[in-house]
Amino acid sequence: MSAQPARFPHRTALSLALALAVLPAHADEVTVEDLARRLQALEQRLGVAPETGADGVALADLDQRLRVLERRLALQADEAAAKAARQPVVALGPKGLSIKSPASDDIEVKFHALVQGDGRFFLDGAAQSQHDTFLMRRVEPTLEGSWGALVGFRVQAQLAGDNASLNDAYLDLKFDPRATLRLGKFKQPFGLEQLQSSSGLPAIERGLPTELTPARDYGVQLHGALAQDTLNYAVGVFNGTVDGRDSAASNPDDEFEAAARVFWEPFKHGTSAWSGLGVGLAASVGDAFGAGSNFLPRYRTPGQATFFAYRNGAAADGLHRRWSPQAYYYRGPFGLLGEYVASEQELRLAGGNDAGRVAHLENTAWQLTGSWVLTGEAASYRGVARPTHPFTPAAPGWGAFELVARYGELDIDDDAFPLFADPATAASRISAWSVGLNWYLTRNLKLVANYTQAAFDGGAAGGDREDEKTVFTRAQLSF
């Protein structure tokens, strides 16, 4: 009678787990010879030379060979982990594209983009020089990140319009969360609405007070967060810029402008009804000497038409000072933002019969903007971060809906007329109200519709400029 091959149940062969992994799932028990053949196949795949020439196979031999395989696999796993630790981590998601080095290097580069396509429609013939149109309002690719623990950076281009331009280009030296030094081109620390991201604005265009605030400028700034991140401050020195505009590429008059801002959220970390309250104060001061668009502003309507400009003979002639109290409050789906801005400028007339006449003018503006998220998501200074139920064609989700209302006024100093501004073409006052609906389909896609109506004091040869009535729409993609 022939000898039966040795057999053992696989449930008791715990020491041979690796070899058993290659056995068919339906096998209840295997022979030692079957196990040896499969182990030999594994050894060949891993480059381990199996023992050959033995007439029989002992469990002790299989156990030894299995230990060799386990050691080889452990070494390969360690090598793979070490290699992975040296490779950058590439991630693509709703927040954009990021490339991150191993943690020890602390290097990360992120790519974001904002694309806004608008439709502008003017009602009742009030457009004057404006025309119904479709346009690309913003096309902004952004590269930002950190290069080690000390250095942060941001570069943002503006590709909308006829010419490409540079929005931001700066370095951050991050000495401490309480003290970061920023150098380059960026927004001056001043206007509450001016400092809002374009993607998170509650309305399509910024309000009237922003016409008096400085925008992007070249300079150096120290900023940080104190008192457990409830008090934010920023102070800087800049080339200086006119109200409501970015600065020129270089300093046009050898003068500089200082700006400072503090913003306090006293109940930020609490759970009371006041946890969404923030109040701030901003100021800027400098001298400006010269005529033209680099020294004196032109103020725009909500429809982006100029309603006030100084005469050609007017020139900046000294002190330019601004100040602004500002606040916001967010609680659940409700949001409220308000600010007041005053801008003072000393001027002189450079030509004509009144050459040499001087004036100290103060223009002021204020606004209130309220919002309510109808679908219950939390309102915030950055907009609705993420719909609870994003819009999906094959599912019941519709995204988030937000109602917005705004009222604001801008007053020109009466002493500007008639010497420094022509009352037949420049209005002395504008008041404007608007209502809008924001539809956040997803965290990246937003559709907007605004109706705005503005009234003027003066600004026309026969008296008051005709009311401006506009319907603006927008499709926005941001990541």
Kindly state whether residue 319 falls inside one of the protein's structural domains: yes
Kindly state whether residue 59 falls inside one of the protein's structural domains: yes
Kindly state whether residue 462 falls inside one of the protein's structural domains: yes
Asked whether residue 354 falls in the same domain as residue 288, the answer is yes
Could you say which residues of the chain have pLDDT below 70? 1-30, 46-57, 59, 84, 125-129
Residue 181's pLDDT is 98
Kindly state whether residue 312 falls inside one of the protein's structural domains: yes
Helix (H) or strand (E) holding 133: strand 133-147
Say how many domains are in the chain: 2
- How is 222-237 classified by DSSP, letter by letter? EEEEETTTTEEEEEEE
Asked whether residue 294 falls in the same domain as residue 422, the answer is yes
Residue 9's pLDDT is 39
And the tokens for 462?
């026969």
Residue 57's pLDDT is 61
Cβ of 294: how many Cβ atoms within 10 Å? Answer: 18
- What are the phi and psi torsion angles at 403 (to 5°)? -95, 140
Kindly state whether residue 105 falls inside one of the protein's structural domains: no
And the tokens for 191?
């206007």
Asked whether residue 151 falls in the same domain as residue 47, the answer is no
Instruction: Kindly give, in sequence order, each residue whose CB lies less than 8 Å from that of residue 80, ignoring residues fewer than 6 positions away.
Output: none
Residue 11's pLDDT is 36
- The beta-carbon contacts of 120-123 under 8 Å, at least 24 apart in sequence, are 120/303, 120/304, 120/470, 120/471, 120/472, 121/470, 121/471, 121/472, 121/473, 122/303, 122/468, 122/469, 122/470, 123/469, 123/470, 123/471
User: Per DSSP, which regions of 41-132 are E strands?
Assistant: 89-93, 96-100, 107-123
Kindly state whether residue 28 falls inside one of the protein's structural domains: yes
Asked whether residue 52 falls in the same domain as residue 184, the answer is no
Q: At what angle do helices 59-85 and 32-46 cross, to 10 degrees?
A: 30
Asked whether residue 50 falls in the same domain as residue 195, the answer is no
d(CA 100, CA 298): 44
Instruction: Kindly give, in sequence order, each residue whose CB lies less than 8 Å from that of residue 74, ignoring residues fewer than 6 positions away.
Output: none
Kindly state whether residue 99 falls inside one of the protein's structural domains: no
Asked whether residue 40 falls in the same domain as residue 124, the answer is no
What is the amino acid identity at position 57?
Answer: V
Asked whether residue 260 falls in the same domain as residue 307, the answer is yes
Asked whether residue 47 falls in the same domain as residue 122, the answer is no
| Residues of the domain holding 20 | 7-85
Per-residue DSSP letter, 254 = S
Q: What's the burial of 66, exposed, middle or buried (CB within 10 Å: 0-12/13-18/19+)? A: buried
Given a contact cutoff of 8 angstroms between Cβ atoms, the answer to whether 474 and 436 are in contact is: no
Residue 213's pLDDT is 98
What does pTM read for this prediction? 0.84
Residue 8 C-beta-side C-alpha neighbours within 13 Å: 14
Residue 40's pLDDT is 75
Asked whether residue 328 falls in the same domain as residue 473, the answer is yes
Kindly state whether residue 95 falls inside one of the protein's structural domains: no
Asked whether residue 207 falls in the same domain as residue 63, the answer is no
Asked whether residue 174 falls in the same domain as residue 119, the answer is yes
Asked whether residue 81 falls in the same domain as residue 117, the answer is no
CATH number at residue 318: 2.40.160.10
